């Protein structure tokens, strides 16, 4: 079973595409991978520049598809279909292929389900989904992340009343049980002010306050 680390998977994809373009001999797995990349011309520029793109990050809940994850999911599904595990996957794949009249699009439909499971797992690990929360509080500034700036300012865990900057994700404010609207608004303002003082960056609110300013 092909089970590489994140960096190994990315290196494998870049090396495979380079070998394909150079006309070098490919292993069966590399040949399958090269065919998959060839079916995704929107990724060709990315794979043509490994120095620039190999370390590129993609947010779990972002709007941009992670091409590395997308292609590795293709390979995972190919392997599952080839060994018939989990039970019934071949029959499901056949039904979807008939529906979409394309094996490639059938895999995309299966990946939507798998991707939702992965996204949910990542979200639960990186966001305070087990607490009442407000987030994302601020938009990411160009070329940076609001959570990184807030954490770098030493504000993770900072509290005003019952409102706290999440220990799990600094761009979330959680209600520890007694937070008032005024606590949350005061904490948002404090975070923005400290980040501006320490980093010179004016964070823009993503969260919108409805109604009049909160009172104690």
The predicted-structure confidence for 151-176, as pLDDT tens digits, reads as follows 899 999 999 998 999 888 888 888 88
| Residue 49 pLDDT greater than 70, yes or no | yes
Q: What is the 3-state secondary structure (H, E, C) of 96-147?
A: HHHHHCCHHHHHHHHHHHHHHHHHHHHHHHHCCCCCCEECCCECCCCCCCHH
Domain boundaries, the chain: 6-126, 133-199
Residue 153 has what pLDDT? 92
Residue 215: per-residue pLDDT: 53
CB contact at 8 A, 161 and 178: yes
Q: Is the pLDDT of residue 145 over 90?
A: no
- Rounded CA-CA distance 154/144 in Å is 17
**CA–CA separation, 143 vs 189, rounded Å?**
22
Check residue 25 and give its pLDDT. Answer: 96
DSSP characters over 145-180: -HHHHHHHTT-TT-EETTEEE-SS-TT-EEE-S---
- Architecture category of domain 133-199 in CATH: Alpha-Beta Complex (3.90)
| Contact between 121 and 80 (Cβ < 8 Å) | no
> With bands split at pLDDT 50, 70 and 90, how would you rate the model's confidence at 9?
very high
Phi, psi of 205 (to 5 degrees): -65, 135
pLDDT tens digits for range 162-212: 899 988 888 888 888 888 888 888 999 999 999 999 999 999 887 666 545
Average pLDDT of 92-118?
83
29: preceding bond cis by omega (within 30 degrees): no
**What gap in Å lies between CA 215 and CA 212, rounded to an integer?**
9
CA 121/CA 110 separation, integer angstroms: 17
What confidence tier does 101 reach under pLDDT thresholds 50, 70, 90?
Answer: very high
Give the sheet arrangement for strand 159-160, strand by strand: 133-134, 173-175, 163-165, 159-160
Residue 122 has a pLDDT of 58
Give the pLDDT band (50/70/90) at residue 140.
confident
């Amino acid at each position: 079973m092909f089970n590489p680390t994140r960096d190994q998977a990315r290196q494998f994809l870049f090396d495979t595409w380079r070998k394909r373009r150079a006309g070098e001999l490919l292993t069966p797995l590399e040949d399958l991978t090269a065919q998959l990349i060839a079916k995704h011309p929107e990724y060709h520029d990315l794979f043509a520049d490994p120095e620039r793109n190999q370390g590129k990050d993609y947010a779990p809940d972002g709007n941009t598809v992670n091409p590395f994850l997308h292609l590795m999911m293709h390979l995972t599904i190919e392997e599952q279909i080839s060994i018939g595990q989990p039970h019934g996957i071949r029959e499901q794949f056949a039904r979807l292929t008939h529906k979409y009249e394309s094996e490639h699009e059938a895999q995309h439909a299966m990946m939507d389900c798998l991707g939702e499971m992965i996204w949910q797992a990542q979200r639960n690990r990186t966001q305070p989904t087990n607490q009442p929360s407000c987030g994302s509080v601020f938009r990411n500034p160009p070329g940076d992340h609001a959570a990184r700036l807030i954490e770098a300012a030493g504000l993770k865990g900072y509290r005003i009343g019952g409102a706290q900057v999440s220990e799990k994700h600094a761009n979330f404010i959680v209600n520890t049980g007694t937070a008032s609207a005024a606590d949350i608004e005061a904490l948002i303002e404090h975070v923005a002010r400290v980040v501006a003082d320490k980093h010179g960056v004016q964070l823009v609110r993503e969260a919108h306050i409805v109604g009049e300013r909160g009172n104690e």
